[in-house]
């Protein structure tokens, strides 16, 4: 089954407007239209409107890193799906391990957020991943299975859903899963998605790998049969590195 790869950059809490413009100008030169990979950059909220304008005329899509589930009202500091949609956001990252761990986001909250984004007409990158102690204890698939079950329901418009497998011990650490470790978990996720949404969805849903993806390790990870692209943190802040990861994904398709 050939799935079109999807590479998304998670800028996290980085970039002033000046820095973002410089990064985007590099990306515009390096990521040529027509590349056989879907590409998105998920910027901080303050950069959505200006970066949306910078992306005009490119094939790169705009993404956000969070979204609240309520539609409007007294929720200081939050941003709704309708607000993101109006800013031309196409993808929203939900359930990143930093949101789960630092901000204590629960499975129930994440499920509401996933639903609000999908109902609001955007696509969702839903992140799952185990801690190092959970991997060492042999409970990786239990943890991932629980995160999938908590955050997703069979009532969702799954055609606009991407799963990102991000082992927490690999995020921002320079340590990455081996291709075998990634493939094993991706195959497990695919099976769970087929169980939840049906065999077709299991075959077509894209599953990204995330966790210290760099130009030097992208090709071997992207070559895994169930790895359909990457969610990239640190390396997405360097235009040349991000472009090189996108090219590695394109090369994996044409093989
Ligand atoms: C991430 O934040 O989703 C991520 C994978 O970060 P990094 O690539 O820096 O490990």
Confidence of residue 172 (pLDDT cuts 50, 70, 90): confident
Give the model's pLDDT for residue 220: 96
Residue 254 above 90 pLDDT? Answer: no
Number of neighbouring beta carbons within 10 Å of residue 83: 18
The pLDDT of 204-226, averaged and rounded, is 96
11 contact partners, CB below 8 Å, separation of at least 6: 20, 41, 42, 43, 44, 47, 65, 236, 237
C-alpha 245 to ligand 1 mean position (Å): 13
C-alpha 43 to ligand 1 mean position (Å): 13
Closest ligand 1 atom to 164 CA: 3
Residue 59 above 70 pLDDT? Answer: yes
C-alpha 168 to ligand 1 mean position (Å): 9
Closest ligand 1 atom to 171 CA: 10
Give the model's pLDDT for residue 255: 55
| Residue 210 near ligand 1, beta carbon < 6 Å | yes
Q: What CATH topology corresponds to 6-252? A: TIM Barrel (3.20.20)
State the average pLDDT for the chain. 96
Closest ligand 1 atom to 230 CA: 5
Nearest CA to ligand 1 atom 8: 233
Give the model's pLDDT for residue 81: 98
| Spatial distance between the Cα atoms of 1 and 145, rounded to a whole number of angstroms | 23
| Spatial distance between the Cα atoms of 158 and 197, rounded to a whole number of angstroms | 7
Give the model's pLDDT for residue 2: 82
| Spatial distance between the Cα atoms of 49 and 33, rounded to a whole number of angstroms | 21
Give the model's pLDDT for residue 14: 98
| Residue 213 near ligand 1, beta carbon < 6 Å | yes
Give the model's pLDDT for residue 154: 85
Residues marked active site are found at 96, 166
C-alpha 170 to ligand 1 mean position (Å): 8
pTM score above 0.85: yes
Q: Tell me what percent of the residues of the chain surpass a pLDDT of 70.
A: 99
The pLDDT of 129-141, averaged and rounded, is 96
């Amino acid at each position: 089954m050939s799935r079109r790869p999807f590479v998304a950059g998670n800028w996290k809490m980085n970039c002033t407007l000046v820095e973002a413009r410089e990064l985007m100008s590099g990306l515009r030169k390096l990521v040529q239209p027509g590349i056989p990979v879907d590409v998105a950059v998920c910027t901080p909220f303050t950069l959505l409107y200006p970066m949306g304008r910078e992306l005009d005329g490119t094939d790169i899509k705009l993404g956000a890193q969070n979204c609240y589930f309520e539609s409007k009202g007294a929720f200081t500091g939050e941003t709704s799906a309708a607000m993101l949609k109006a800013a031309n956001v196409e993808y929203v990252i939900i359930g990143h391990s930093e949101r789960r761990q630092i901000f204590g986001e629960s499975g129930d909250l994440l499920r509401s957020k996933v639903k609000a984004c999908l109902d609001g007409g955007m696509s969702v990158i839903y992140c799952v991943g185990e801690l190092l102690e959970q991997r060492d204890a042999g409970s990786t698939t239990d943890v991932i299975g629980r995160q999938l079950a908590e955050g997703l329901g069979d009532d969702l418009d799954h055609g606009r859903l991407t799963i990102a497998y991000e082992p927490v011990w690999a995020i921002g650490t320079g340590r990455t899963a081996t291709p075998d470790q990634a493939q094993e978990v991706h195959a497990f996720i695919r099976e769970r998605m087929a169980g939840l949404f049906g065999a077709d969805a299991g075959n077509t849903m894209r599953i990204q790998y995330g966790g210290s993806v760099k130009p030097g390790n992208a090709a071997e990870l992207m070559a895994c049969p169930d790895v359909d692209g990457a969610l990239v943190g640190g390396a997405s802040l360097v235009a040349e590195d991000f472009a090189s990861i996108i090219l590695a994904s394109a090369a994996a398709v044409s093989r």
